[in-house]
Structure 1
Amino acid sequence: MPDAPLTPANTPPASLRPSACPGLWRIVSARDGGICRIKLPGGLLLADQAEAVALAAERFAGGVIEATNRANLQIRGIGSDHAGLIESLLAAGLGPREAAGDDVRNLMLSPLAGLDPAMSMDVRPLAGQILDLLQGTPRLHQLSAKFALQLDGGEGVAMLEHPHDLWLSSMHLEQRGWLAFGLASCPADGHVVGAVPVEQGLALVRAVLERFLELASPEQSRMRQLLQTCPVDAFIDGLGLPVRRDAPVLEWQRENVSSPWLGAVRQQHGMALGAAPPLGRLSVAMLRGAGAVARRWGDGSLRLTPWQSLMLTNIDPAVLDQAIDELAALGLLCSPTQPLARMVACTGSRGCAKGQADTKADAAQLAALIGSGAPGSVHLSGCPRSCALAHVAPATLLARSPGRYDLYLRDAHLPGLGALRATDLTLNEAGAMLALPTEHLDD
């Protein structure tokens, strides 16, 4: 049966969660035009779909595409033909035909899920079941567009610091596979609240989501808000599942092996290649070209990462250097030593009315001042919402006016962005401080 065209019956009303995040079906307004967010299944984008996104950005918008910190894509600067844009993306298989199923597809995987040599479990089959559950269960469509899940198979290339409403992580106890899980936290925190056998993973997800919807008030859109009024023990006791909560489970901690995500990355077989668009922003030519490289030298797919980057998989080691050269020629960053790889920046005042500074331009200028360092170690945010980064960077510059920033250093003992180190800095002043390794900034 052919796909149905967009009609008044299946086009979402303008009032559908008007204050929520953008989605494929819901284009929200910004200073630089409309924003459409494309939620990718486990971050996977086929090369043909990359071409479709590039063509849509070219035809219906200003040609600006962004990689997000939850391994999705968004198109910015969209004009008046919203229906044409949406239909072109749906035709490429980039979203559900029912608008209500789009918001809830918030499931993060490692970009090397199923391929990482460090993994203890291939999570892709379970991930597919969870996405089908989210998309195909009308009751779950009541979840907030921000309600997020993570499924971790023990991969080396893994974002473990992003907080999620529910996360599950592969663990082995007594020669058996289990899924440890946490609520309103992240795997790096080590706040495990229970575990179930791997084969009960889908049942656990269903039970947690239904329990949340049963207990949460309309104002409690996130798990952290519900847990302020409902103790964790009471929440778990009502799941209707046997949850293991003994010491080996509750004391278990996810090992962080910290594999690289830029440049050449080892897979179980062959190589992967990580490449980042400067400051998370892709041009049409970059995305189209990356898809062509994936077809030519890899398996014809791109995997978006939570570091606002791309990963090409199943690259023949014999052609790795050639693939790197082709991506670099497109303007993509393929080495963690490149200064711009150190920077993360939100859209800033050019595209967002809340932005207090042109963070993208300022980040490019700052990169030239401070040189190389750890990838993603400096975050420029145009306002306190911190949209570009879901976790706290080692150093955060929070804009207070055009070209002026307050500097915060991450501190595990302090909430928010960390310790305030200096206020009302110019870019040159910030650059002089950040040229030092961040661990020495308090000396």
Structure 2
Amino acid sequence: MWRFSVAGLPLNERPSSHVVRPSGCPGLLRVVQALDGGICRIKLDGGSILADQADAVASVAERFAGGVIEATNRANLQIRGIGPGHDALIEPLLAAGLGPRKPAGDDVRNLMLSPSAGIDRQMLFDTRPLAEQILATLQTHERFHELSAKFAVQLDGGEALAMLEHHHDLWLSALVRDGDPWLVFGLAGTPLDKPAGRVPLAQGHALVVAVLELFLDLARPDQNRMRHVLAETPADEFLARLARRVPLQPCPDWRRDASIDGLHIGVHPQHDDRVYVGAMAPLGRLDAVMLRGVAQLAREKGDSSLRFTPWQSLLLPSMRREDADEVLARLEELGFLGSSDQPLAQLVACTGSSGCAKALADTKADARRLADLLQSQGQLIKIHLSGCPRSCAAAHAAPATLLAVAPGRYDLYFRDATLPGFGALQAHNLTIEALGHWLDARPPEPL
């Protein structure tokens, strides 16, 4: 298994608790208040965490918070319901090696890999060594601390299990031509888009540094995403400037195959003679008992590591095939979902009004009611429940979205590539029960 070498920070290197950074996003070193208490977001290197580190997260969630742990759509973890005195919560997490290399680098550790990096049977090459380089630079290059906490990079090795729908400020994707490894890249989009060019794999780190430095050269203080800069500086001009820093080559014939749906849950073969076992935290939420239990499984049956995914699920890698069914059964006993044929495994919901002041409905509770209703009707459809238009729980438009308009009431949208936002409005002001009748009368296409 792999991990990045991140040591706990000495006290004299940590920011004081009164330091305010220009972001409303929670981090490990910045607890943000919500209706249900403070939120601490723990950014995981490539989504990976060791079993002992998972135990540390479980312990602080019990001791200093309400015990609620969330898997995010960027393969991180966050603890909710934190009470006063949150410095005491941060210390054990730093001691477990979950902190940044430099305090100011906490916000910018935004590099998303495939959850199956290094083990995927379809991967073109292992992206983890390059990922380690990029993450180290993001945290230690002082200028990159100017980046927004939302600025994000994706590194894709051609895996069958890869989130290809989340937009990133910079994306890089593996390519092999005549036996040589390359990185195709693009700006403000996804690997499914037309690329901006390609560089040899050996130039991948230099490319990332050059793109980020050029972005910071061009961006005004209020422009925190690549799309904001490209709205004023045409992409051709940006790339011409970039080519003066790193030699670029065109890539006219690029086509990234779509990822295979469902590989984040269940038992799947690795590139070696082992398998990984995936299971989903219902609606992205788990508690200390669940996290501790899965950490113990990783020790007993795997390589003592866990990998969280952008689908709010987790993988236990490097399992023996003969242990896989037992591991999956034990995950389900802990409360995880082990099969994608369960309606609850197809639903995504934001925190909702129980924890967020902006939400107009209790989306988590409504999602569970909806799952029960869909189960009784034999329906299986991917639905995103959002308490407000910000769409915090989903980084891309889902096939169907329920946008809250009042407690227990939602507008229904279907994704439409020709329309912005959630897509085309289908029905207005539906209750969960009315939605069930609506879907029953208009069965959606199979997943």
Q: TM-score, normalised to structure 2's length?
A: 0.94
Aligned to 2:437: 432
Regions of 4+ moved over 6 Å: none
Q: Relative to 1, partners in 2 of residues 1:214 and 1:4: Cα closer, same or farther, differing over 3 Å?
A: closer
Aligned to 1:214: 217
Q: Point out the more displaced range, 50-59 or 174-183.
A: 174-183
Unpaired stretches in structure 1, ≥5 consecutive residues:
none
Q: Is 1:230 matched with 2:236?
A: no
1:73-121 CA-to-partner distances (Å, cap 9, x unmatched) read 0000001121111111000000125320100000000111000000001
SS of equivalent to 1:210: helix
CA contact (8 A) 1:167 1:186 kept: yes
Aligned to 1:401: 406
Q: Relative to 1, partners in 2 of residues 1:233 and 1:174: Cα closer, same or farther, differing over 3 Å?
A: farther
Give the aligned residue type for 1:193: A
SS of equivalent to 2:11: coil
Aligned to 1:184: 188
Give, in angstroms, the shift of residue 257 of structure 1.
4.0
Match of 1:282 among 286, 289, 300: 286
For 2:424 and 2:77, how far apart are their aligned partners in 1? 32
1:109-146 CA-to-partner distances (Å, cap 9, x unmatched) read 01110000000010000000000110111110100000
Q: Is 1:253 matched with 2:255?
A: yes
Give, in angstroms, the shift of residue 430 of structure 1.
1.2
Q: Is 1:91 matched with 2:95?
A: yes
Aligned to 2:136: 132
Give, in angstroms, the shift of residue 299 of structure 1.
1.0
Give, in angstroms, the shift of residue 241 of structure 1.
1.2
Give, in angstroms, the shift of residue 237 of structure 1.
1.3
Q: Is 1:170 matched with 2:169?
A: no
Aligned to 2:4: none
Instruction: Give 1:62-73 correspondences, 5 Å limit.
Output: 62-73=66-77
Give, in angstroms, the shift of residue 339 of structure 1.
1.7
Give the aligned residue type for 1:254: R
For 1:313 and 1:3, how far apart are their aligned partners in 2? 26
CA contact (8 A) 2:23 2:148 kept: no
Q: Relative to 1, partners in 2 of residues 1:317 and 1:374: Cα closer, same or farther, differing over 3 Å?
A: farther
Aligned to 2:204: 201
Aligned to 1:339: 343
For 2:302 and 2:421, how far apart are their aligned partners in 1? 40
Give the aligned residue type for 2:142: P
CA contact (8 A) 2:71 2:284 kept: yes
Q: Relative to 1, partners in 2 of residues 1:184 and 1:437: Cα closer, same or farther, differing over 3 Å?
A: farther
Q: Relative to 1, partners in 2 of residues 1:216 and 1:4: Cα closer, same or farther, differing over 3 Å?
A: closer
RMSD: 1.7
Q: Is 1:380 matched with 2:380?
A: no
1:276-319 CA-to-partner distances (Å, cap 9, x unmatched) read 11100011111111111111111111100000110100111101
Match of 1:102 among 99, 106, 123: 106
Q: Is 1:419 matched with 2:424?
A: yes
For 1:389 and 1:257, how far apart are their aligned partners in 2? 18
Aligned to 1:310: 314
Give the aligned residue type for 1:264: V
Unpaired stretches in structure 2, ≥5 consecutive residues:
1-6
CA contact (8 A) 1:127 1:151 kept: yes
SS of equivalent to 1:334: coil
Give, in angstroms, the shift of residue 15 of structure 1.
4.7
Give, in angstroms, the shift of residue 175 of structure 1.
3.5
Percent identity for Structure 1 against Structure 2 = 58
Give the aligned residue type for 2:422: L
CA contact (8 A) 2:108 2:148 kept: yes
Give the aligned residue type for 1:258: I
Give, in angstroms, the shift of residue 178 of structure 1.
1.1
* Residues matched between the structures, number: 434
1:411-439 CA-to-partner distances (Å, cap 9, x unmatched) read 11111100000000010111223455434
For 2:25 and 2:318, how far apart are their aligned partners in 1? 33
Give the aligned residue type for 2:212: L
CA contact (8 A) 1:357 1:402 kept: yes
SS of equivalent to 2:239: helix
For 1:324 and 1:95, how far apart are their aligned partners in 2? 30
